[in-house]
Amino acid sequence: AQKITQTQPGMFVQEKEAVTLDCTYDTSDPSYGLFWYKQPSSGEMIFLIYQGSYDQQNATEGRYSLNFQKARKSANLVISASQLGDSAMYFCAMREYSGGSNYKLTFGKGTLLTVNP
């Protein structure tokens, strides 16, 4: 079974509007972390935001916020005031902590966001 599901292969948004990218996850580990990364056409993965499973507040980083709904196992990324430079592939990822200090990210298939002028 897929651990990270991103159901939107592609999304379009007008410049200056907000957009939500969906991510659902599956884990039986009570302790886990959720990440969003941006990958422009150049290929480099850029870290955007992190949410821990025990964090009470939704994470925010500038124009990025993570809408964390633990009971629904969803961790949607919200980008406010979209910019042309936001056009890129966006990946949701999860780390499960049952492995102790071991660190392994499981990624979704990604969503290609296009910002139109």
Kindly state whether residue 64 participates in binding other proteins, applying the rule CB under 8 A.
no
Distances (CA, A) of 33 to 16, 52, 92: 29, 4, 11
Distances (CA, A) of 19 to 37, 72, 82: 15, 20, 7
| Rounded Cα distance, 113 and 19, in Å | 9
Of 108, 111, 113, 115, the one binding other proteins (CB under 8 A) is 108
Minimum distance, C-beta of residue 117 to other proteins, in the bound complex (Å): 27
Minimum distance, C-beta of residue 7 to other proteins, in the bound complex (Å): 14
Site track for other proteins across 14-53, x = CB under 8 A: -------------------x-x-x----xxxxxx--x-x-
